[in-house]
Structure 1
Amino acid sequence: MTGARTDPALTGLPGVTDHHLLPGDPRNTLLVAGPPPQAREIPAADADAADRAADAGDASVRGTDLAALPAAMRQLDETALLTMARVLDRTRLFRDGGRPSTDDVLAALAVAPRHAWIVRRWLRTLAAEDRLVTDPATGRHHCLEVPDRRDHARALRALDAPCRDLGYPPAMTRFFRAAAERLPLLLQDRASLQEVLFPDGETDTATGNYRDSAPSRWANHAAASLVATEARHRAEAGGLRVLEVGAGVGGTTGTVLDALGDTPVDYLFTDVSPFFLRAAKDAFTGRPGLRTALFDIQADPLPQGLEPGSQDVVLAANVLHNARHAGRCLAALRELLAPGGLLVVVESCREHYQALTSMYLLMSPAPDERAWFTDLRAGQDRVFLTAAEWARQLDAAGFDPLPVLPPDGHPLTTAAGQRVIAGRVRHHDHRPDPAAVRAALADRLPPTAVLPRIHTVDHIIRTDTPTGATR
C-alpha cells in the first residue's frame, strides 16, 4: 500500500467515497469517509451551554484587570525577543556585517536537530518584528538588532509585574528566567526543560501555568461548566463517564471535579507519563469515582483498554496540539464517545514569543522520532492550530462544533489566545463500516500484509490543503 489515492487496494472500498492513508509506526492509519453529512445549526441546548460556560469563565477572573493583560503579554514577548537576539549574537555570525544562513546559525549554536524548528521560528519572528533582516532571494540573515546585556538583564528582572498581572505565581516567573539563562544548553539537549519546569519533582510551576494564570483559569472554568451541564443532561442515565486525556498536572481536572460536585461520575484521569498519574493520586486522593491509567493519544485507543462508545465526555486540555495528525486523533477520540457524546478541548490558538524561549522545547519531536506533524502543520515549523482550524478539524472528524470560547472580541482572546473548542458527536448514517473496510482490505492484500488502523471521518483534510481553504 503506497498511500497514493489511485492504489488499487484502496479504491472501491465498501461505503467509502474518499480516503487518506497516513504513514505511521508500527502501522499506517487509513481515514475513510462516505457521503458528506447534512449541515445543521447548533442546537439551542448546546448554544445555551456555551453561554453558561462563558459566564463561568468570566466569573472565574472577576477582579482581574483584563484590560492590562495585552500589555502584560507583550512585555513577556518583548523579553523573549531580547533573549532570542542575545542567544543568536553569541554565535558572532552577525557581527561585522555577517550574513549567515539558517544552517550556519544552527551549526554555530550546535542545536539538536529536534529543536532546529525553534531557531527557525526565532529568525522568522525577529524578521517580522523588524529586529533582523532576511534576504528573500538568498535566505541569509543580517542586521540583527542586539540588546545591551544590561537591558536584557533588566527585562528579565522586570518580569514579576507582568506575570503577576497574568495571574502567574512567582514559581512561573522563576521558570521563565531559568529557561532564558539555560537556553543555549537547552537547545543543545545538554540540559532538560523538564528539570527546570519540575524542579525536584515538584509540579507547582506547571500548575501555575495550567491552573492559576488568568487565561487558564477562564478556560478551565468554562470547560468545567460544559462538563457539568452534560452531567445534568445525562442525570437520568446514571453516572457520567469522563475520560480526560493528557491530564498532566491536573490543572483542569480539579476545576472540573469541583464543578461536578456530588454528581456520580466514573472519571478516568489519563496521561502518557506515570509521573503525572502518581501526582494525581496524591492530589485527588479520596475522590469517589476517580481512576488513573496510562494513555497515549498517538496510539490506537483499543489496545490501551478503552472500548468504543464507552465515554460520555472526553476532555483534552492543552494536549491535542501534540497529536501528530489532529484528524486521526480526533476520529479515534470520537469513536470512544457514546452517541451524542461531548468532546471538550482546551488549546492555545495563537503563538506567544515567550513560549519560543521556554515551553516550546517540550513540544519538539523525540530524538528518535522519524516524522513530526503529518497534518496541515507538516513542514510549517508550528505546533498550534488556530481556533478556526480546530473547529474545521472537529467538523471533519465527525463532531458538530459548539461556539468557540471565549468569543471573538473578548479581552482574553486578544491577550492570550487560550480557547475552549467543544464538539458533539454527529449522528451520521452514512459513515463507512470499519469492519467491512477492514475485511475488504484483508481480501485484497497479501496474508502477510499489516492492515492499517482504520478510522471513519466525515471529511478528509489533506496535508496539502492550504490553511483556510474550503474542502
Structure 2
Amino acid sequence: MNGPPIDALTDLPGVGAWQWVPGPERPTLLVAPATSHPAGLTNPGVEQAFVDPASAAGDAAVAGADLSSLSQLSRLLDEVALLAMARVLHRARLFPDGTGHDTGQVLDVLRVAPRHAWIVRRWLSTLVAEERLRYDPGTGRYHDLVAPDRVGYARARRKLDEARRGFGYPPSMTRFFVATAERLPALLRDEAGVQELLFPDGSTDTAEGNYRDNLPSRWANHAAAAIVAGGTRSPGGPLRILEVGAGIGATTRPVLDALAGTELDYLFTDVSRFFLTSARTLLGDRPGLRFGLFDINLPPTGPQITPGSRDVILAANVLHNARHVGRALAALRELLAPDGLLVLVESCREHYQALTSMYLLMSPSAGEQRWFTDMRSGQDRVFLSAAEWVDQLDAAGFDPLPVLPGDNHPLADAGQRVIAGRVRSGIPRPDPVLVEATLAARLPPGDRPERIHAVDRVMSAPTTVPMGEPR
C-alpha cells in the first residue's frame, strides 16, 4: 500500500493523532491519545538508584586507563579517515586543476553502488566542513580538493596504531581500519564486503575489539549491566530478560557477570544465525540462557516473545538499525511487563573513521525499497543524538532515565551512551484491539495495517510518512 486511506483513519476510538509507517510487507499504524502526558514523570529517587551504581560500574571497568587523551586520539582516527576519503577522490582524478563535479558525477566516476551513495555524500559534506574541499551552492559543484600527499598519509597511518592503543582496541582493529581504507573503491562498488574484513575466517576478534574491548564500549557495557541488574523481576520467578541484536555478546557477558547467582530467563537473540552459533559456544552453559532469532524491523513473533513477557529488554548497538525507531520502541514496550525496563547502548556521535569502515555495514540492502522512515529520512545519517533518543523513549511510552555517561564525564565525547527508560504507567492510550476492529469494518484486509501500536505521542515525520489528526 502506497499511502493510508485517510478517511478510514478519522474518528478512530480514543485516537487523537496517528502515523502510518511503511513496512517491509504492510504498514504499521501508530496511534496516540488526544491529550499528551505532562513531562517529567520519572521519580528522581528511582533514577538515582540506577544512575549511581551504573556510573560506578562503568568507572570500575576502565579504572587505571588514561581518559584525558581520548579527545586527541579520536582526532587522530578522524584524520586518517579524512585522508582516506580524499585519497579515493584524488586517485579517481575527480578534481584536477580546480575542475568541479556535482554529487551525481562523483558517484558515477567512483561507480558507487546505489545503496552506498549516502556514504559518499557524507564524505563530500564532511570534507567541506573540514575545509578539505569547496562547494559552490550556486552550481551545486564541489572543487579544489586538498589532496593528501604520500608522506602525510603514511605518517597518519603510523599514528593510527597509537590511537588504537590509547582507546584500548586490539591490534586487529588497526589491521581492519587499514584494510578497509585500502579497499574503499571496491567496497563502495560492492565488489567486496566489510564483513569479510570484520570477521576474517569467521573470527570475531576484530568485532570484539569494536564492541567490547575499547574503553568507551567497556564503560557503557558495564554501566548497562548494572542497570539491567537493578531491573524489577516478576514476583516469585526469574528475571526475564530479552536481549535483541546481541551479536558477539559484548554486553551479554558483563550482564551475566552482574547477575551471577540470580535466577534467569535470558533470551539471547540476533537477526543472524552466525552470532547465535558463536554465542552458544561462548555462553551456552549458563542456566536459564536460551537463544533465538529476532529482527527489530519485523513484528515480534513466537511463544518466547509475547506481550508483557519480559522484565528487561537490552539492545546494545542495534536499535539505530530500526527503519523507524518509534515503531521499534512501541513494539518493544508491548513485550515488557508493567514497570519493565528498556536499556539501550547507542553511539550518539558520528566518528569519521566509521565513514570509511563500519558505515558500509549499515547501508540498506540492495533490494530494499525504503531505508529510514523516521526523522532520519533523507538525511544520510544513521545515529540519533542522546537528546533524540530520550525524546523517542518518551513518545513511545517510557519514563527516560538520565543518559550515561553524563555530559561532564571524560568518556561522554566518545559517543557511546547508555539510554534507559521504564515503562510509563497511568497514561490512557488508545486500545489497538478497538482500533483494529473499527478498521476491519472500514477497510478490506489488504488495506489494513499489519500491526497497530499505541504510543503516548506521535513524533514529527517526513512528508513521505503521512500523519493525521481527526477532522
TM-score tier by shorter-chain length is over 0.9
Distance in 1, matches of 2:46 and 2:27, equals 39
- 1:422-433 equivalences under 5 Å are 422-433=420-431
Contact (CA 8 Å) 2:97, 2:144: kept in 1 or not? no
Evaluate the alpha carbon distance shift between residue 191 and residue 135 of structure 1 in structure 2; reply closer, same or farther with a 3 A threshold: same
| 1:179-237 Cα shifts (integer Å, max 9, x gaps) | 1111110000000100000000000100111110000000001000001112xx43854
Q: Distance in 2 between matches of 1:93 and 1:173?
A: 28
Residue matched to 2:96: 95
Aligned amino acid, residue 443 of structure 1: A
Instruction: Output the amino acid matched with 2:11.
Output: G
CA–CA separation in structure 2 for the residues paired with 1:179 and 1:138: 33
Residue 149 of structure 1: CA displacement? Answer: 2.1
Alignment of 1:311-390 (within 5 A): 311-390=310-389
Deviation at 1:451, TM superposition (A): 3.5
1:241 positional shift: 0.3
1:148-297 matches, cutoff 5 A = 148-230=149-231, 233-234=232-233, 236-297=235-296
> Secondary structure in 2 aligned to 1:321?
helix
- Superposed CA deviations along residues 399-440 of structure 1, whole A, max 9, x for unmatched, are 0000000001211112x1110000000013411111111000
Output the CA distance in 1 between the equivalents of 2:28 and 2:233. Answer: 33
For structure 1, list consecutive stretches of 5 or more residues without a partner in the other structure: 466-471
Structure 1 residue 337: Cα displacement: 0.3
Which amino acid is 1:397 matched to?
A: A
**Quick check: 361-370 or 439-448, which moved more?**
439-448
The 3-state SS of whatever aligns with 1:385 is coil
Percent identity between the two aligned chains: 63
CA displacement at 1:36 relative to structure 2: 1.8
Structure 2 match to 1:469: none
CA distance in 2, matches of 1:203, 1:447: 45
1:306 maps to which residue? 305
Residues in 1 aligned to 2:445 and 2:168: alpha-carbon distance in whole angstroms: 59
**Helix, strand or coil at the partner of 1:158:** helix
TM-score (norm 2): 0.95
In structure 2, give the amino acid aligned to 1:345.
L
| 1: CA distance, partners of 2:195 / 2:420 | 30
Q: Distance in 1 between matches of 2:138 and 2:459?
A: 32
Distance 1:446 1:312 in 2: 37
Give the distance between the partners of 1:448 and 1:102, measured in 2 at CA. 40
Counterpart of 2:466 in structure 1 is none
SS in 1 for 2:12: coil
Q: 1:37 touches 1:428 (CA, 8 Å); kept in 2?
A: no
Greater RCO structure (CA 8 Å; 6+ sep): 2
Q: Deviations over 1:225-256 (max 9, x none)?
A: 001112xx438542100000000111111011
Structure 1 residue 448, shift from structure 2 partner: 4.8
Structure 2 letter corresponding to 1:22: V
| Structure 1 residue identity aligned to 2:85 | M
Greater mean alpha carbon deviation, residues 403-412 or residues 439-448: 439-448
Q: Distance in 1 between matches of 2:298 and 2:446?
A: 22
Deviations 1:27-69 (A, max 9, x none): 1010000132233443212322112101111111111111010
- Structure 2 match to 1:435: 433
Residues 302/38 of structure 1: CA separation in 2 closer, same or farther (3 Å cut): farther
Measure the CA separation in 2 of the matches of 1:302 and 1:240: 21
TM-score, normalised by the number of residues in structure 1: 0.95
Partner Cα distance (2:221, 2:271) in 1: 21
Cα distance in structure 2, aligned partners of 1:429 and 1:417:
32
Shift of 1:132: 0.5
Residue 37 of structure 2 corresponds to which residue in structure 1? 37
Q: Please tell me the root mean square deviation across aligned C-alpha atoms, in Å.
A: 1.5
Indicate conservation of the 8 Å contact 2:348/2:386, yes or no.
yes
In 1, the alpha carbon distance for the partners of 2:303 and 2:102 equals: 45
Partner of 1:455, secondary structure, is strand
SS in structure 1 at match of 2:305: coil
Q: Is the 8 A contact 1:295 1:304 kept in 2?
A: no
SS of 2:447 mapped into structure 1:
coil
- Whole-Å separation in 2 of the counterparts to 1:304 and 1:126: 50
- Kindly provide the CA deviation profile for residues 111-158 of structure 1, in whole angstroms up to 9, marking residues without a partner as x: 000000000000000000011101112220011001112321332232
Q: CA 1:183/1:260 → structure 2, altered by over 3 Å: closer, same or farther?
A: same
